[in-house]
A and B are shown apart, each in its own frame.
Chain A
Amino acid sequence: EVQLVESGGGLVKPGGSLRLSCAASGFTFSSYSMNWVRQAPGKGLEWVSSISSSSSYIYYADSVKGRFTISRDNAKNSLYLQMNSLRVEDTAVYYCAGDYYDSSGYYDYWGHGTLVTVSS
Chain B
Amino acid sequence: QSALTQPASVSGSPGQSITISCSGSSSDVGGYGHVSWYQQHPGKAPKLMIYDVDNRPSGVSIRFSGSRSGNTASLTISGLLAEDEANYYCSSYTNTNVRLFGGGTKVTVL
Which residue in B40, B46, B57, B87 is a CB contact (below 8 Å) of A106? Answer: B57
Residue A89 at the chain B interface, CB threshold 8 Å: no
Of A9-17, A18-26, A42-50, A72-80, the segment with at least 4 beta carbons within 8 Å of chain B is A42-50
Tell me if A27 is interfacial: C-beta within 8 Å of chain B.
no
Secondary structure call for the A interface: strand
**Which one of A50, A57, A95, A105 contacts B99 once the chains associate, using CB atoms below 8 Å?**
A50
User: Which residues of the other chain, A, contact B1 by a CB distance below 8 angstroms?
Assistant: 61-63
Which chain B residues border A57 with CB–CB below 8 Å?
Answer: 97
Q: Are A59 and B58 in contact (CB under 8 A)?
A: no
Q: Which of B46, B48, B55, B57 contacts A45 (CB 8 A)?
A: B46
- Is the pair A108, B89 in contact by a Cβ cutoff of 8 Å? no
Name the distance in Å between B46's Cβ and chain A's nearest Cβ: 6
Contacts of B91 in A (CB 8 A): 45, 47
> Interface size (B, Cβ < 8 Å)?
27
Q: Mark A93-112, 1 if CB is under 8 A from B, else 0.
A: 00100000000011110111
Complex CA distance for A46 and B55, rounded to whole angstroms? 23
Residue A35 CB within 8 A of the other chain? yes
CB-defined contacts of A44 to chain B, threshold 8 Å: 3, 87, 89, 101-104
A interface residues, Cβ below 8 angstroms from B: 35, 37, 44-47, 50, 57, 59, 61-63, 95, 105-108, 110-113
For the complex with contacts A47-B100, A108-B57, 4 further pairs of A-B residues with Cβ separation under 8 Å are A44-B89, A61-B1, A106-B51, A112-B45
A-B contact pairs, 30 of them (CB 8 A): A37-B101, A44-B87, A44-B102, A44-B104, A45-B40, A45-B89, A45-B104, A46-B3, A47-B98, A47-B101, A50-B97, A57-B97, A59-B98, A59-B99, A61-B1, A61-B98, A95-B45, A105-B55, A105-B57, A106-B48, A106-B51, A107-B57, A108-B48, A108-B51, A108-B57, A110-B45, A110-B47, A111-B45, A112-B44, A113-B45
